[in-house]
Amino acid sequence: MKVLITGATGQLGLALLKQLKNTDYQVKITSRRKPQNINQFEWVYSDFSTGEGLKDAITDIDVIIHAATSPMKDSKNVDVIGFGKFLDMNLQIKHFIYPSIVGIEDIPMNYYKYKYQAEELLINSSVPHTIIRATQFHSFIENSLLSKPLFKKYFVPGDFKFQTVDTSEFAAHLIQLIGDVPKGKINDFGGPEILTLREMAELKIKVNNESNKVANLSFPGKLYRAFLKGKNTNEQQKLGKITFEEYLRNKGK
Ligand SMILES: NC(=O)c1ccc[n+]([C@@H]2O[C@H](COP(=O)([O-])OP(=O)(O)OC[C@H]3O[C@@H](n4cnc5c(N)ncnc54)[C@H](OP(=O)(O)O)[C@@H]3O)[C@@H](O)[C@H]2O)c1
């Protein structure tokens, strides 16, 4: 079985590669930058915004885990337009595994709107697929919302709820799907606990012995209310085991 991992240099892509090293799958990987220390895998340059390299990437492939995405810039081009063209090239594939995000239809953010459009493209295509949504990754919250205190304070919407999950556990779940039949849209994969962003910031301060404090932000609008209500969480799908605190304590070990 030959598997293609797109987005091989991303948070999820790297977690997938780490675990695929220990499997018998033949693995090809693709991204624009070349990941380090991946000599056992065949790497192909590709760009979803131009289509360059994608034909080479999919040659002889049975299963794709599509971890390429562009959350910040060029989202529409990469995650919808480029993605749609990529699907058209993949009509012969046995299984297209698509990681998505919990709550995207209820949270008014452009990136989530594009992820939802991509899900719809896949559902309405003839490509055999599995769509699996995850909650936000621990590393995403740490590296974005809690990355840089300002004047010794984390200015965050402290009442936002998150059910973050470890990328390694989500990667393992996706890898299990490789040998399975395409299942359409399946149950979400959520982290083990729902915390407010204030609680997450306080955990980071405690674990890293920081002298920073948390300053609460609020703003009007639907986006604020969606995260306040935890639309990005799924209480029924607490499948991950590694908590945010454990993730912070075990980093770099
Ligand atoms: N982050 C989260 O909290 C989270 C939660 C749930 C689900 N997900 C989903 O999990 C998947 C992976 O997310 P992630 O957080 O691992 O993303 P990420 O860290 O931002 O990585 C994105 C990957 O896409 C590649 N990429 C970006 N633009 C590209 C382009 N134009 N052409 C080809 N490759 C391109 C990047 O590689 P190069 O720059 O080297 O090309 C990188 O390898 C996404 O579908 C995301 O929606 C993420």
- Asked if residue 17 has pLDDT above 80, the reply is yes
Average pLDDT over residues 225-241: 98
pLDDT in tens, 188-198: 999 999 999 99
Q: What 3-state DSSP class applies to 13?
A: helix
Average pLDDT over residues 22-46: 93
Q: End-to-end CA distance of the chain, in Å?
A: 33
- Residues with a CB atom less than 6 Å from ligand 1: 7-13, 31-33, 46-49, 67-71, 78, 99, 101, 115, 134, 136-137, 140
d(CA 240, CA 236): 12
All residues at 6 or more sequence positions from 73 whose CB lies less than 8 Å from its CB, including other chains: none
Q: Are 48 and 204 in contact (CB under 8 A)?
A: no
Which residues, listed in sequence order, are joined to residue 6 by a DSSP beta bridge? 30, 66
Ligand 1 centroid – CA 67 distance (Å): 5
Instruction: State pTM to two decimals.
Output: 0.97
All residues at 6 or more sequence positions from 231 whose CB lies less than 8 Å from its CB, including other chains: 103, 106, 107
Angle, CA 107 vertex, CA 103 and CA 111 arms, to 5°: 95
pLDDT in tens, 146-200: 999 999 999 999 999 999 999 999 999 999 999 999 999 999 999 999 999 999 9
Ligand 1 centroid – CA 69 distance (Å): 4
Which residue ranges form the domains of the chain, and what is each CATH number?
2-250 (3.40.50.720)
Best mutation site among 16, 29, 69 for ligand 1, i.e. most ligand atoms within 8 A of its Cβ? 69
- Asked if residue 252 has pLDDT above 80, the reply is no
Best mutation site among 5, 17, 32, 56 for ligand 1, i.e. most ligand atoms within 8 A of its Cβ? 32
Q: Are strands 195-196 and 161-162 parallel, antiparallel or unpaired?
A: antiparallel
Q: Please identify, by atom number, the ligand 1 atom nearest to the C-alpha of residue 50.
A: 31
Radius of gyration of the chain measured on its C-alpha atoms: 18
Q: Check residue 131 and give its pLDDT.
A: 98
Mean pLDDT of the chain: 96
Give the pLDDT band (50/70/90) at residue 39.
confident
| CA-closest residue to ligand 1 atom 18 | 10
